[in-house]
Amino acid sequence: MAYTPNPPQVVREMLGSMGLRDINELFIDIPEELHLNRELDLGESLSELELRKKMNELARKNVSIDDCPCFLGAGAYDHYIPAVVEHVLSRSEFVTAYTPYQAELSQGVLQSIFEYQSMICSLTGMEVCNASMLDGGSSLAEACSLAVDATRRKKILAAGTINPRYLKVLHTYAHGKGIEVATIPDHDGLFDADEMIKMIDKDTAAAVIQFPNFYGFLEPEIEKIEAAVHKVKGLLIIAVDPISLGILKSPADWGADIAVGEGQSLGNPLSFGGPYLGFFAANKKLMRRVPGRLVGETKDLDGKRAFVLTLQAREQHIRREKASSNICSNEALCALAAAVYLSIVGPKGLRSIAVRCHELACYARSRLQDAGFSLYQVPFFKEFPVRLSDPLAANSALLKEGIIGGYELGDALLFAFTEKRTKKEIDKMVDVLKGVQA
Amino acid sequence: MSKLIFERSVPGSSAFSLPEGDVPSVELQDSLQGFLRESDPPLPEVSEVEVVRHFTELSTKAFGVDSGMYPLGSCTMKYNPKINEWAARLPGIAGLHPDQPEETVQGALELMYELEQMLCEITGMNRYTLQPASGAHGEMTGASLIKAYHEQRQDFRRKKMVVPDSSHGTNPATAHMLGFELVEVRSNERGLVDVDDLCSLMSDEIAGLMLTNPNTLGLFEEEILEISKVVHEAGGLLYYDGANLNAVMGVARPGDMGFDIVHLNLHKTFGTPHGGGGPGAGPVGVKEFLVDLLPIPLVGKKDGQYCLDYDVPHSIGKVQSFYGNFGVMAKAYAYIKALGGKGIREACRHAVLNANYLRHNLSDFYEITYDRLCKHEFVASAVRQKKECGVTALDVAKRLIDYGYHPPTIYFPLIVDEGLMIEPTETETKERLDGFIEAMQEIAKEAKENPELVKEAPTNAPIRRVDEVTAARRPILKWK
Ligand SMILES: Cc1ncc(COP(=O)(O)O)c(C=O)c1O
């Protein structure tokens, strides 16, 4: 396939009009010794028919969540995606547009981002939300970086129950910027709040908590942390699962200054880890420090409501090294998916999804408890770990029965329950586990 | 003016239902006591048909490559092949959880493995991480590698990063994020890195030089081998911002030019759509001596099986939670497979041809600051129009909207006054290019004869120019 539309005689005509004969004359500014002078070794070009076959072949070498019920979560979730989401995301005016620099030509993109920002504010209770970050982990890291800049302090206290991958990303960003990250140890699935409170002092830029935490548990001491960190004028950062916000208290309810998280659950496919949607929301005081694009409402010359990229003095293309972040491209299309998803499910639908996830998880837990498995006695939302003598063997046994099992934690498997799971699937999963453990 | 989706809300409307539950219901007040929110979040309540109409209406107020020519300089807005969209949506591609057992994702790992090899071949590098999710994210990864490299050698003095005065904003912003002190190297009268100035900046405090080649003026850095020598002799590393790779792919390779680290923008060079701002993907390639520092995991192959390899001794860690924007990788993979080695070079040649054709035909009407052979893009300027008729680059851009074109990138790079950075890409026909030339000529004429018309533009768009000052002074960032 070639996607270059000009046939050879047109190319010759264009060259001729510039007084050139050979297209290679356009490359004489590249020093002779740098010319590759051979064809790249990438194989022959494929026709669309061959390409379709090739991609189908690759796809068929994978087992997809369409083939097997999936109990994996740990930061990426198999929630249902309504057909309308995919439909809107196939509108090529959205798909093939660039960042909406030119407002007059981009009102559709700008308005959809404005609606997305509004919806994330509704969910989190925060006052400002940006147009998206690269994923949940980088969003958390950027929140810490903002806290360090805003407080002019260097120390971040992170709960040990935060998704370990987020912590890894945070450490990479922190090392670059010279931020100190202290991870607070955890016991039995919850971080040691007393320890965190002991460590909070005048050098603390922020305390960071995930809710529900990585193990699916609900941290019970957020109020105490909030009071302690705000007392020293540090910030409270909370990472949340947006689906949980259908029923659970929002970051604003807990007094958070910044709310971040992974928005993949909101209408974006699992896609082996990306593209995902980092969301980033903050209170109004931090507005002028927020990283990335912000869409604002304004008027055009005729007084008509219009939307535009705003507060750009924070951004790299204006401020260069003084920008609040280096982010340029974001995950706009994933944010659009989230906006369409939330429009479709609405407040009642989101609540019903959250409740169903929780009910399925509660059912699974009671079945596992009845079967004598070792479980933590801690409130959870849609995910919890099950201690097993041989988690790897358990996952293999599940796979043999056509079930994608849990996330391996060492001595346990972490199981997630989305609204797509059924009683029958859970019963089967529990039975297989019983067989392995016996 | 479109209503906001919130303004379409009718309480009680709904577009969603779950199957009947078959597990016992739960008393939330018991199981989640103390954790429950008091009321539902204020989201809109809209029926399915109205949601579809709403977003369809918004789509008609957006402009993509499929709508028309999009010569947005530095962004490489080429046509996005539709078969790739189909491929990325296959259940065996989109329906994979990142933590599935390796034996259930062999196809996905094979795709990543092969993509890495193809990117190595195209750029002359030894290994790639596919983890960064955008160009700037790739820069952040690359700058972390530079920092880690010097630290590993116990060389803690190297605190300065050099970027050209023509560099993209993400370069200095990234260097600053990594704690580097910024040093700008001047462009010379030919629009290229001033090598004498570069030499004078070199010292044992230099960590590296971040360079785009061809640079943001669309000009090939002809002295790149000398530049490479200067930086390396000073002990620094050479970083390639691959935003402009479309201009040289298949013809020359950054690896052969002396670059140690390269980031690519799959969403520019390799035909994946930009989604109204993202997602993109910014893989980072390195030479052998930096492989041990790459983010974890890499994609490996053991006994004929593909695997995720966490054994990277001095890894800088992770920059994204999983393995990068896999859906975007699938599209780029399909793109490269479709073109093959020959097609990649053809795409590059046509991109350069189209840019030079436009430059050649516009130079009678607009000043072209560096009017000589360019690569995939060039920077025209409206200085003449501004001086003679008070018409600015912004005005020209806005008037282009009335003629049905997406405007070029304006006021970048910063070293050109009233800059209009034009990148047609290889996927425009001569007819389209001629139409664009005609529109630009017409606008130059209008600027002389009827400047108000240009300054008032656009008049043929969903809205007129917007009040950006009030937007920034009294920001409204969400629906009340
Ligand atoms: C020269 C250059 N460098 C870096 C970037 C940043 O890339 P991204 O938007 O993918 O972060 C861009 C994007 O416009 C660019 O043009």
pTM over 0.95: yes
Q: How many domains does chain B have?
A: 2
B332 and B363 in a common domain: no
Residue B447 C-alpha, separation from nearest chain A C-alpha, in angstroms: 20
What are the tens digits of pLDDT across the range B3-16?
Answer: 999 999 999 998 99
Tell me whether residues A104 and B465 touch, CB distance under 8 A. yes
B169 and B235 in a common domain: yes
Q: For B12, left (φ over 0), alpha (ψ -120 to 50), or beta?
A: left
Q: Write the single-letter amino acid at A356.
A: R
Query: Quick one: average pLDDT of A320-342?
Result: 95
Phi, psi angle pair for A78, to nearest 5°: -90, 65
- Smallest Cβ–Cβ distance between B66 and the set A96, A125, A302 belongs to A96
Alpha-carbon separation of residue A165 from A141, A207, A264, A404, B428 (angstroms): 11, 18, 15, 21, 43
CB distance from A269 to chain B under 8 Å?
Answer: yes
B331 and B369 in a common domain: no
A318 pLDDT tier (thresholds 50, 70, 90): confident
**CATH number of the domain that residue B389 is part of:** 3.90.1150.10
B323 and B367 in a common domain: no
Longest dimension (CA), chain B: 78
Q: What is the Å distance from ligand 1's center to A110 Cα? A: 20
* 8-state DSSP, A363: H
Last residue of a domain, one of B285, B317, B339: B339
* Interface with chain A: mutation pick from B99, B216, B342, highest number of A CBs within 10 Å: B99
| Structural domain contains residue B11 | no
**CATH number of the domain that residue B179 is part of:** 3.40.640.10
For residue B382, pLDDT over 90 is answered with yes
B283 and B152 in a common domain: yes
Of A271, A125, A56, A246, give the one whose Cα is nearest residue B328.
A271
| Structural domain contains residue B54 | no
B386 and B276 in a common domain: no
pLDDT of the residue at B54: 98
| Structural domain contains residue B308 | yes
B389 and B327 in a common domain: no
Please give the mean pLDDT across all residues of chain A: 97
**Beta strands per DSSP E along A58-184:** 128-129, 155-159, 180-184
Last residue of a domain, one of B339, B368, B397: B339
A322 pLDDT tier (thresholds 50, 70, 90): confident
* 8-state DSSP, B295: P
| Separation of alpha carbons B293 and B284, rounded Å | 12
Residues of the domain holding B423: 347-471
- The ipTM value here is 0.98
| Structural domain contains residue B240 | yes
Tell me whether residues A59 and B44 touch, CB distance under 8 A. no
Which residues sit opposite A211 in a β-bridge? Answer: A240
| Structural domain contains residue B279 | yes
- In Å, how far from its chain's centre is CA A32? 46
B266 and B353 in a common domain: no
What are the tens digits of pLDDT across the range A116-173?
Answer: 999 999 999 999 999 999 999 999 999 999 999 999 999 999 999 999 999 999 999 9
B396 and B308 in a common domain: no
| Structural domain contains residue B56 | no
Last residue of a domain, one of B339, B357, B375: B339
The residue written with tokens 């029965």 in the block is A401
Phi, psi angle pair for A274, to nearest 5°: 170, 160
| Structural domain contains residue B52 | no
For residue B258, pLDDT over 80 is answered with yes
Q: What is the Å distance from ligand 1's center to B75 Cα? A: 7
pLDDT of the residue at A437: 84
| Structural domain contains residue B265 | yes
Tell me whether residues A122 and B177 touch, CB distance under 8 A. no
Query: Quick one: average pLDDT of B380-398?
Result: 98
B54 in contact with ligand 1, CB cutoff 6 A: no
B309 and B231 in a common domain: yes
pLDDT of the residue at B427: 98
Query: Quick one: average pLDDT of A184-192?
Result: 97
Tell me whether residues A404 and B104 touch, CB distance under 8 A. yes
Q: What tokens appear for B436 in the block?
A: 């664009």
B406 and B322 in a common domain: no
Name the residue at shortest CA distance from atom 9 of ligand 1: A329
Cis-peptide, bond into residue A275, ω within 30° of zero? yes
For residue A99, pLDDT over 90 is answered with yes
Within 10 A of B189 (CB to CB), how many other CB atoms are there?
7
pLDDT of the residue at B362: 98
B352 and B254 in a common domain: no
pLDDT of the residue at B146: 98
User: What are the structural domains, with CATH classification, of chain A?
Assistant: 83-341 (3.40.640.10), 346-437 (3.90.1150.10)
What are the tens digits of pLDDT across the range B282-295?
Answer: 999 999 999 999 99
Contacts of A301 in chain B (CB under 8 A): 464-467
Please give the mean pLDDT across all residues of chain B: 97
Q: Counting atoms of ligand 1 from 1, which one is nearest the CA of B267?
A: 10
| Separation of alpha carbons B455 and B469, rounded Å | 18
CB distance from A412 to chain B under 8 Å?
Answer: no
pLDDT of the residue at A388: 96
Query: Quick one: average pLDDT of A301-313?
Result: 96
